[in-house]
Amino acid sequence: MDTLIQLLDLTVRSAVPLLLACLAGLYSERSGIVDIGLEGKMLGGAFAAAAAAAVTGSAWLGLGAGILVAVSLSLIHGFASITNRGNQIVSGVAINFIAAGLSALLGQAWFSQGGRTPQLQKVERFNPLELPLSETLSSIPIFGPVYRDLISGHNLIAYFAFLMVPLTWWVLYRTRFGLRLRAVGENPAAVDTAGISVSWARYRAVICCGVLCGVAGAYLSIGVSAGFVKDMTAGRGFIALAALIFAKWRPVAAMWACLLFGFLGAIEIRYQGVALPLVGVVPVQLMQALPYILTVILLAGFIGKAIPPKAGGVPYTKER
């Protein structure tokens, strides 16, 4: 029971940044802007958050800086792909490199610690929260330990991430903004005909994407760790992208996909080199590659069909 709870707790921890980045990508891609720059935006956000927290001594200012930088990168992507009608994939690749290069370069130039930011104090981070009554209720069988060790004890950003799931669902499916966002991703010409600006709708979606990427970055650098390390996102942006496809661009499914990939990550950390029942020792690399393999199989249509937003990746030209 305890090991299971620990495993699930680790799952949640690995899933949070994926979930935030995945929802970020959801906003962008549902509006027709393909985004493979999630990784870079998360990285830029993580660096800015840690740097600002280290300099100002405030976790909240750190979070703000992280969001600001990630949104700026988003706007570059938006400018290239919405205003200039450039290739969205090329732009996303560019964002990834600019963020990776700039964060490490500035990190070294400012703090001279090999691209790291200084170790953050407790007050400069988002620390685990103790939910009310977690000790009192812990004597209740099953619910008690689950509440104390799994549900309680995460930082604010983690709760925010899971809160964003219903919120995103509500925004996408129950608000005017969401309807328009989905519409520009499916049929921008129709939206344009209705007198609504396609560009503006897409820009707003891209900004939402930046905000969430910034939060995801902050979770990594000033939440679960105490500072920024070069390339600390380590491919999470791409796993998030995979999760987005896996979830077929739907918010609630995105959460399950991220939890699944987080679970794989947790097993990888927890059971490294341990022989599992039935299968024996699974090479840790197989576990690392599994999210990617699953996504490839899904994309190939062997487990359901992932149909992307129809206008995804296509720049909108008003008239010819």
Partner 1 sequence: MNLTLPRWVDYGLMPLINVAVAFLIAGLVVLFVGESPVQAAYLMVRGAFGNGYNLGFTFFFATTFIFTGLAVAVAFHAGLFNIGGEGQAYIGGLGVGLVCLSMDTVLPWWMTFPLAIIGAAAFGALWAFIPAYLQARRGSHIVITTIMFNFIASALMVYLLAGPLQKAANLGPRTRDFEAGGQIPKLDWLFKPFGVDMGASPLNISFLLALIMAGVVWAVVWRTRFGYEMRTQGVSPRAAIYAGMPEVKIIVLTMMFSGALAGMMALNPVMGDQTRLQLDFVEGAGFVGIAVALMGRSHPAGIVPAAILFGALYQGGAELAFDMPNITRDMIVMIQGLVILFAGAMEFMFRPALARIFSAPAQQEKIS
State yes or no: residue 311 binds partner 1 (CB under 8 A): no
CB 164 within 8 A of CB 22: no
State yes or no: residue 97 binds partner 1 (CB under 8 A): yes
CB of 53 to partner 1, least distance (A): 21
Question: Which amino acid, 313?
Answer: G
State yes or no: residue 118 binds partner 1 (CB under 8 A): no
Strand (E) or helix (H) holding 49: helix 38-56
Place of tokens 């001594």: 57
Return the number of the residue (5 or 98) whose C-beta is nearest partner 1.
98
Rg for the chain (alpha carbons), in Å? 20
State yes or no: residue 303 binds partner 1 (CB under 8 A): no
State yes or no: residue 117 binds partner 1 (CB under 8 A): no
Cα 56 to Cα 259: distance, rounded to the nearest angstrom: 34
State yes or no: residue 194 binds partner 1 (CB under 8 A): no
Cα 53 to Cα 37: distance, rounded to the nearest angstrom: 24
Return the number of the residue (28 or 152) whose C-beta is nearest partner 1.
28
Which 266-285 residues touch partner 1, going by CB under 8 A? Answer: 283, 285
CB of 256 to partner 1, least distance (A): 19
> How far apart, in Å, are the Cα atoms of 13 and each of 20, 97, 124, 224?
12, 26, 19, 8
CB of 307 to partner 1, least distance (A): 9
- Only one of the segments 101-109, 198-206, 219-227, 249-257 lies at the binding site for partner 1 (rule: CB under 8 A); that segment is 101-109
23 Cβ contact list (under 8 Å, min separation 6): 161, 164, 165, 168, 212, 251, 254
- Only one of the segments 57-65, 152-160, 196-204, 238-246 lies at the binding site for partner 1 (rule: CB under 8 A); that segment is 238-246
Q: Please identify which residue in 6, 56, 58, 108 interacts with partner 1, judged by CB under 8 A.
A: 108
Residues 310-319: b if buried by 16+ CB within 10 A, e if exposed: ebbeebbeee
C-alpha 152 chain-centroid distance: 21
> How far apart, in Å, are the Cα atoms of 151 and each of 13, 129, 202?
11, 10, 35
Q: Please identify which residue in 89, 156, 171, 253 interacts with partner 1, judged by CB under 8 A.
A: 89
Q: Please identify which residue in 84, 121, 197, 272 interacts with partner 1, judged by CB under 8 A.
A: 84
State yes or no: residue 314 binds partner 1 (CB under 8 A): no
Q: Which residues bind partner 1 (CB under 8 A)?
A: 36, 76, 79-81, 84-91, 93-106, 108-109, 112, 115, 230, 235, 238, 241-242, 245, 283, 285-286, 288-289, 292-293, 295-296, 299-301, 306, 308, 317
